[in-house]
Structure 1
Amino acid sequence: MEVDYSAIKVVGFDADDTLWVNETYFRDAEEQFASLLDGFETKNKIDQELFKMEMKNLELYGYGIKGFMLSMVESALDISNNTVSQATITKLLNLGKKMISHPVELLEGVNEVLEMLSDRYRLIVLTKGDLLDQERKIERSGLSKYFHHVEVLSDKKEENYLNLLDHLEINVSEFLMIGNSLKSDVLPLINIGAQAVHVPFHTTWQHEEVAIEDEDVKYLKINRLTDILKYL
């Protein structure tokens, strides 16, 4: 695909699974959750019930590990008909705490890309999740020096992007977003007249999966983050 980024002045980056590993830890936690409850239901059923609980609670808790922890506890109570042991609940809470305290694992080439682009563009982070957790990861990552602004959004819909770009006085036509989610990082930007780059991660949360039916939707897809240096 031919792209023209000559008008771009600001580049936005998603954080989880674009700058650092995230979804892998959720998948590992789901496996442990299923193992802890395997005396009550099949793994497939347990997986389904946990996802349903996450979707039910999303509007209340938002995105992030803390909401996931609460959904695990509530789902465990439901699946076990309120007979799950206190010890198992404690293990679920500790599982979530372990996720929160996990070291930040940067994806390949992140420092190289940010170092190169920070000299030519204004860089910002636009991410979803728990504010405290995301701020903590930004600090632990050592990447904050590259960014002019970090924003933790409640959601990544067209309205969220438009409001933020307006607040930061960024012209939509001068903005490029880079992320791993078509649903959150690409399609909303294309719809508001900005540009977007898709960098797939090997694991995608079910809630973020989306099929592209419109062949006229134009965005750049790259295999790894460092490939963006060929275009910017």
Structure 2
Amino acid sequence: MKATGQILIFDADDTLWENNVRFERVIDDFLHWVAHPTLDKTEIRAILDDIERANAVTLGYGSAMFLHSLGQCFERLRERPVSEVERREIDALAADLIDHRVDLVPGVTETLEELGARHDLLLLTKGNVDEQQGKLDASALARHFSGVHIVAEKGVETYRQLAAEYSWPPERTWMIGNSPKSDILPARRAGLNAVFIPNAHTWVLEHDELDPADDRVLQLGKFPDLLDHF
């Protein structure tokens, strides 16, 4: 039996459209380009992950932070500043990240269309406002949502504040996303339900452990499976 009259809050990147796979392609090219005499690609990737983890706290998310992190990684490996020529080469590696092109996850448009006929749909995404808005505009999905929220970070307080602002009843409110760290765990700690839809390309910094005994987290295999439950 499907639930009706629910409040469904959707993540954007890697839930509605593919995102991190584009960054991963750039990282693969960067690791090949920056070849180090003693460190292998796995070790260099670990250094880059640490740099991104630190930069996300102060610079937020998106392509600008990512490019800055690539430059810092280069400097740490080469133990010298990046030259102007090398900076242009790094920028060229990541040129595809700034065009706001989006590849929708299969079935997203049709699923949102049907869900919107019986539920209240909202969008909650984190990152640079202009960058996220550009991707949303390119996706042509904004018409499905009664509210769009672009925030710097998604933590427990983000969900609590929005729930209070909208007077969402927790038992009928669901956060739907691919990130345990940003979508599932903080929503649950705020008292909301959650739907976890894994994406094979989820950013490593968004990984976290979920409680398999938590019966208020629904795990699905693909986005259109939402129609079997809502």
Q: Fold match, TM over 0.5?
A: yes
Q: Contact (CA 8 Å) 2:100, 2:135: kept in 1 or not?
A: no
**1:66 counterpart residue number:** 64
Cross-structure match for 2:34 = 37
CA apart distance, 1:118: 1.2
1:105: which partner in 2? Answer: 103
1:112-191 equivalent positions in 2, closer than 5 A = 112-191=110-189
CA contact (8 A) 1:199 1:225 kept: yes
* 1:52-90: CA deviation from partner (whole Å, max 9, x where unpaired): 111121111112121111111111112111165432211
1:24 paired to 2:21? yes
Contact 1:36 1:88 survives alignment (8 Å): no
Output the CA distance in 2 between the equivalents of 1:83 and 1:130: 26
Closer/same/farther in 2, CA of residues 182 and 5 from structure 1, 3 Å limit: farther
Query: Any conservation in 2 of the 1:190–1:217 contact (CA below 8 Å)?
Result: no
Unaligned runs of 5+ in 2: none
Q: CA shift at 1:144, angstroms?
A: 0.9
Range with bigger deviation, 202-211 or 220-229: 202-211
CA distance in 1, matches of 2:216, 2:174: 13
Q: CA offsets per residue over residues 96-148 of structure 1, 9 Å max, x none?
A: 34212152100100011110011112211111111111000000001111111
Alignment coverage as a number of residue pairs: 229
Q: In structure 2, what is the equivalent of residue 13 of structure 1?
A: 10
Is the 1:128–1:156 contact (alpha carbons within 8 Å) kept by the matching residues of 2?
yes
**CA–CA distance in structure 2, aligned partners of residues 177 and 4 of structure 1:** 17
Verify: 1:205 aligned to 2:203, yes or no: yes
Q: Counterpart of 2:50 in structure 1: which amino acid?
A: K
Q: Which amino acid aligns with 1:104?
A: V
Asked if structure 1 preserves the Cα contact closer than 8 Å seen for 2:196 and 2:219, the reply is yes
Decide whether the 8 Å contact of 2:11 with 2:124 is kept in 1. yes
Question: What letter is aligned with 1:38?
Answer: A
C-alpha RMSD of matched pairs (Å):
1.9
Q: How far is 1:48 from its partner?
A: 1.3
Q: Percent identity?
A: 31
Gaps of 5+ in 1: none
Specify the code of the residue in structure 1 equivalent to 2:24. Answer: R
TM-score by length of 1: 0.91
Give the partner amino acid of 2:28. Answer: E
Q: What's the TM-score, normalizing by structure 2?
A: 0.92
Match of 2:78 in 1: 80
Q: Which residue number corresponds to residue 226 of structure 2? A: 228
Partners of 1:91 and 1:154 lie apart in 2 by 29
- Evaluate the alpha carbon distance shift between residue 60 and residue 148 of structure 1 in structure 2; reply closer, same or farther with a 3 A threshold: same
**Distance in 1 between the 2:218 and 2:205 partners?**
22
**SS of the residue 1:183 aligns to:** helix
In 2: Cα distance, 1:20 partner to 1:103 partner:
10
CA distance in 2, matches of 1:168, 1:66: 32
